[in-house]
Structure 1
């Protein structure tokens, strides 16, 4: 039996998931660790999380580092700082003990999982949001410029819009709905203005912790909160705009079907987000064909590691060109 296996790593702003598969793409082991978002935890934090996850999956599968024929590391914020990218590229080498791996943005994991590495556009709405797609060997990304001025439709964005609605409810600029009570109870606010300390104070919630408030907005919407419901409608429209930008960037022809899928924790809201997202897609273009993801992103990362290994092997086996 071949000992070859393939490692996929799907990094994120809240958690990082690992998948180890065999040569037949059967899952051998998986693990979940903390964030690998380097602007928050630094390169040392990224390295520690990768080392932890790697050790866990190898232990469960009873495999060694040398058994990993190829690995793919999808890391959040990769490619968004040209000074940091080479440092992220170098991190896995010491952990694996070889250079049979590749690094890229974690958006690739969502696409690879949703389409099993086939052509299409995937929209990620996790802690942040971003879109990525491939068509006939051409790749493109859109969105994902960070929470300070972008990441529209993400869990962080939904939570931030929810806190904005809370502030307006508190002031009387909006009627108080269930969101006001839910957020106040969750954060144990003695006074409404104590929300500022949770966001700006010495013990402010982290980016990932703030994003985890998005389910409260979903719960408020289910309880009939109009402001919360509107947030999900706007989130769906924003995510559809990302997909439409990619449709143009990938040069889909007029009338050509455009497969589109999704991944990320914000979509755990179910139809609250998915329904306005798919409606907005159809409003952009009737050629969009939404379908549920085939696999989870961390499994997609492992599939992409297999894909990269096959491409490398094919390149190695090709005879040199004649002069």
Structure 2
């Protein structure tokens, strides 16, 4: 393997998220130089000052690991959650990287772009993200479209947060007799150390911890219950697959795919790491919409996708011969 050439400059990719933020630095040829992981970059949850600190520290860490400086960065892309969803807030988000880098060779966008660029290597197609929240994004012949991603209060269907909320609802129904008690009730009771069923209210409504991430983390317990055969939990994942497929289908239509035209579709986010419990109903629902979908495993991480997109915005194209 050739030695990375830092003297030719580098590209910085930042993939933000509700739970964690990944920083990746590649050389001008696309070879990874360094990576770093920080916490949530969801400004609605952590605030602008904390976001500035997170990005400053993350960029400093990844540059230091590679022995690079901000001036070595040819271009950077910062994919931030909720970017573009508040016209009054966006100008404040867009200037934070300038204070971090000391120059304007960067762009900001929604983190959905990172998932798409990484999963499909920047090629035409659609990517669906199901992490703490959910959102879809695709490009075809210069056109772009997004779907979902309206936030956890009334959207984010199929996300970890959504799955967790449905699981909590099922627990409450099991507790008061509206549903038969299954493994989900036992698992939540044990893992949350509930002395009584109603204690789950204290856990959910407590103000001592970030609500969104804390609730979303419960999706893993719902997945565990589904693996143990819990009927209600399995139905939640079936519905999650249906909702995620509906987001994808809406994007396919808006991108103008013709009948018979193959639609490359990939996915990213922690929910999909659960494997078949979510992928099986997702595939089934996609087929019900159209036979033209071709489900492909992600080629690269969203953070690498951010670096790919940074290079593209600078007018270059990274060569990434092997999956990252």
Q: Taking structure 2 as the reference length, what is the TM-score of the superposition?
A: 0.94
Q: Paired residue for 1:299? A: 304
Paired residues for 1:213-232 under 5 Å: 213-232=218-237
Q: Which of the numbers 26, 29, 33 marks the counterpart of 2:31?
A: 26
8 Å CA contact 1:109, 1:301 repeated in 2? yes
Q: For residues 154-175 of structure 1, what are the alpha-carbon distances to aligned partners after superposition, in whole Å with 9 as ceiling and x for unaligned? A: 0000111111110001011111
Question: Which residue of 99, 104, 110 corresponds with 2:104?
Answer: 99
Q: What does the per-residue CA deviation read over 1:96-128, in whole Å, with 9 as the maximum and x for residues that have no partner?
A: 010000000000000000111110000000000
Instruction: Kindly indicate whether the alpha-carbon contact (under 8 Å) linking 1:156 and 1:210 is maintained by their aligned counterparts in 2.
Output: yes
Cα offsets for 1:7-48 (capped at 9, x unmatched)? 000100111111100111111111110001011001111111
Q: Distance in 2 between matches of 1:206 and 1:49?
A: 19
Q: Which of 202-211 and 68-77 deviates more?
A: 202-211
**1:201 shift after superposition:** 2.9
User: Map of 1:112-131 to 2, 5 A cutoff?
Assistant: 112-131=117-136
The residue correspondences of 1:1-323 to structure 2 (distance < 5 A) are 1=5, 2-203=7-208, 206-310=211-315
1:166 and 1:25 mapped to 2: Cα distance? 48
> In structure 2, the residue corresponding to 1:192 is in which secondary structure?
coil
Alpha-carbon offset, residue 290 of structure 1: 0.7
How big is each residue's C-alpha offset from its partner over 1:214-244, in whole Å with a ceiling of 9 and x where there is no partner? 1111111111111111111100010000000
CA distance in 1, matches of 2:152, 2:119: 24
Are 2:45 and 2:210, in contact at CA under 8 Å, matched by a contact in 1? no
Task: Indicate the residue corresponding to 2:320 in structure 1.
Answer: none
> d(CA) in 1 for partners of 2:199 and 2:93?
38
Question: How high is the TM-score relative to the length of structure 1?
Answer: 0.94
CA RMSD, aligned part only?
A: 1.2
Secondary structure, aligned partner of 1:283: helix
After alignment, is 120-129 or 49-58 more displaced? 49-58
Q: Give the number of aligned pairs.
A: 312
Contact 1:109 1:298 in 2 (8 A): yes
Deviates more, 1:180-189 or 1:298-307: 180-189
- Please give the alpha-carbon distance, in whole angstroms, between the structure 2 residues aligned to 1:165 and 1:111: 33
Tell me, what secondary structure is at the counterpart of 2:286? helix
The residue that corresponds to 1:321 in the other structure is none
- Structure 1 unmatched runs, 5+: 313-323
Consecutive unaligned residues of structure 2, counting only runs of 5 or more, are 318-324
Provide the rounded CA distance (Å) in 2 between the counterparts of 1:217 and 1:67. Answer: 45
